[in-house]
Amino acid sequence: MKKLRTNVAPKTVDEYLAAVPEPARSTLQKMRAVIWSVLPSEAIETISYGMPSFKFKGSLIWYAAFSDHCSVFPTAAVINEFKSELKNFEISKSTIRIPLGQPLPASLLKKMVKKRLAQVEKK
């Protein structure tokens, strides 16, 4: 489960995605579009901890490609709330591992991002 690396650390999400081979790149691009679809226009996209992330009034969610899967990191509280809906995926305290070729349902990802937004808004 090695994180995909290039010789140069990406400065932008587009650079990061360009270095990711298929089919992981398409999976990440779909996740990126789904996340953007529910974020407020003031949200920003950046590289954080060497992976793509979104921020709005604080860090929201991260995602990344690994050699044999993709992962999304919506925080432990979000994963815990959606544990039953994530039963078909390998999860840990703060990570959802998405096998290549088995995308995370867009509707579930949207619900998780909305929950994470609500958490950030409360702070």
The answer, yes or no, to whether residue 53 has pLDDT greater than 60, is yes
First to last CA, the chain: 34
CATH says 13-116 is which class? alpha beta
Domain limits of the chain? Answer: 13-116
Q: How confident is the model at residue 122 (pLDDT cuts 50, 70, 90)?
A: confident
- With CA atoms as reference, report the closest residue to 52 among 70, 77, 79: 70
Q: pLDDT tens digits, residue range 12-39?
A: 999 999 999 999 999 999 999 999 999 9
Distance (Å, whole) CA 29 – CA 94: 21
Q: Cis before residue 40, ω within 30 degrees of 0? A: no
Q: pLDDT tens digits, residue range 72-112?
A: 999 999 999 999 999 999 999 999 999 988 889 999 999 99
pLDDT of amino acid 3:
53
